[in-house]
Amino acid sequence: MIKKEEGQALPLAILLMMVLAILIPTMVWWVQQDTISSVKQKKSTTAFHLAEAAIDRARWKLQETGANWASTASGVLSNYNFDKTFTDVPGGTYVIKISSDATNKNRRIAEGVGRDSSTNEVRRIRAVFEQQTFDSAIWSGGDIDVNGASSRVHWGPIRAQKKIEMAAGVRFPRLYSKDKITPDPPYCGSPTCTNKTDNIQFWAYFDVPPRPEIKLGDLKTIAQSSGTYFTTSQDWGNAYPGGSCTGCPPWLNAGTTWFAQNAIWYFDLDPTEELKLTGSKFIYGTVIITGKLTLQGGGNSSYMIIPPPDAWREYKIVDTVAADEWYGDMGGAIPSPVSPTFEFGKTPCPAYQADNCINDKVSFRGFVYAQNEFDASGGDLVHGMIIVDKDEVSNSGNILVFYDPGAINNVPVGFASVTLVEWDEVPGVWP
């Protein structure tokens, strides 16, 4: 009986040994593959972190100086065109390329490629950066009120750190507010509402960034050296080339060509003091008021310009392939090209503006900065930019603002932060 049981155990032992002979090599192979996979993952992670370091360095380089940002608009930076291998991060190397964005002049594209030094594993990241800039027809640290019956803003967006109030039914320009936009409804009227944006014109409760730093000290020095520096309230009437400016200093009244010389005008005033301009007027240049600016009356100058090429962005709601749907609209495929012969005060009104036609002449041409308040109670037209820091932009009249991106050209700007707006890992090899 014992021998019979022993005879049965032998085949079982042989079967067990056969199973182990199959399983053990398989388990060893699994362990080996898992080890290889873990090592590969570690190397791949190292390469990824190197690519991230490349993007961080690209951002630092773009923000290092304004010249770096400007030069990458149409060219490349040495060492940032896949032409230098960086070795400052342990575990491998990385390279960087910074280029312009053909669809947005205020953006830069950075590509970072990381490579693990032991296995040559490669990972690649593409990022898009945007610089804080003056890209608005009106920017305010307070409220913006352009709700006059015929008040309009053309060719550029409006941005406010508080609320924006518009005339009802006006379907341009783009509006960005940290608070609400009125009239409402249908626009968003509270921070908890769901219709904060239509992704075309209205962005309520939006994270409007602060403006870049204006080097007021540099502008003050220039104005002092040129004689266009004032330290008391001014009340000028009919300040335009060839006019007889009442209230102006005698030297300025005798040489009214100053008004058309693209000068730096600096009014170093207390918060309660103002620059008041009445009657017919035209001032060209950079106007800085550390108090309040008040406009009454109208403009005096007519000239021909080419509207901003991106003007069409403000009229997406009304724009079609037809021409003359907004000032300077040449029609055709969207994005619509702009007219090379637009002239203030003479160019016919677009069809969409038939009930709100303007043939006004220009009051201000250039960059207007009022630290405390901008108040228009007449029919003035500003061609350029309006910046108000602490209070509001308001009107009880019919102000017209036509955005000019070139208005900032003579304004020294300090620190402007660079913001990451898009990020993605993309396939790629070591360049």
Check residue 255 and give its pLDDT: 64
Please give the DSSP secondary-structure letter assigned to residue 351: G
Domain assignment present for residue 256? The answer is: yes
pLDDT at 42 over 50: no
Q: Mean of the per-residue pLDDT values for the chain?
A: 85
Are 119 and 186 in the same domain?
no
Q: Report the C-alpha gap between 365 and 384 in whole angstroms.
A: 6
Are 198 and 100 in the same domain?
no
Number of separate domains in the chain: 2
Residue 383 sits in which domain range?
138-408
User: 314 pLDDT band (50/70/90 cuts)?
Assistant: very high
pLDDT at 33 over 60: no
Are 120 and 150 in the same domain?
no
Q: Report the C-alpha gap between 201 and 158 in whole angstroms.
A: 10
> Which stretches of 44-140 are assigned E, i.e. beta strand?
92-100, 107-116, 122-131, 138-140
pLDDT at 326 over 60: yes
Q: Residues near 360 by Cβ (< 8 Å), separated by ≥ 6?
A: 298, 299, 344, 345, 379, 380, 381, 400
- Burial (CB count <10 Å: 0-12, 13-18, 19+), residue 322: middle
Contact 324, 351 (CB under 8 A): yes
Q: Report the C-alpha gap between 366 and 265 in whole angstroms.
A: 11
Domain assignment present for residue 127? The answer is: yes
Q: What is the mean pLDDT of residues 149-159?
A: 89
**Among 110-119, 340-349, 399-408, where is mean pLDDT lowest?**
340-349
Check residue 396 and give its pLDDT: 60
Are 191 and 118 in the same domain?
no
Check residue 24 and give its pLDDT: 63
Selection from 108, 86, 88 nearest residue 99 by Cα: 108
CA angle in degrees (0–180, nearest 5) for 134-366-281: 145
Q: What is the mean pLDDT of residues 208-223?
A: 90
Are 332 and 201 in the same domain?
yes
**Secondary structure (3-state) at 129:** strand
Q: Tell me the pTM.
A: 0.72
Q: What is the mean pLDDT of residues 403-410?
A: 91
CA angle in degrees (0–180, nearest 5) for 72-76-81: 130
Amino acid of residue 215:
K
Q: What is the pLDDT of residues 236-276, one digit of tens each?
A: 999 998 888 899 888 887 666 888 889 999 999 998 899 99
Domain assignment present for residue 430? The answer is: no
Q: What is the mean pLDDT of residues 14-31?
A: 61
pLDDT at 141 over 80: yes
Q: Report the C-alpha gap between 110 and 223 in whole angstroms.
A: 40
Q: What is the mean pLDDT of residues 377-399?
A: 82
Check residue 37 and give its pLDDT: 44
pLDDT-above-70 percentage for the chain: 85
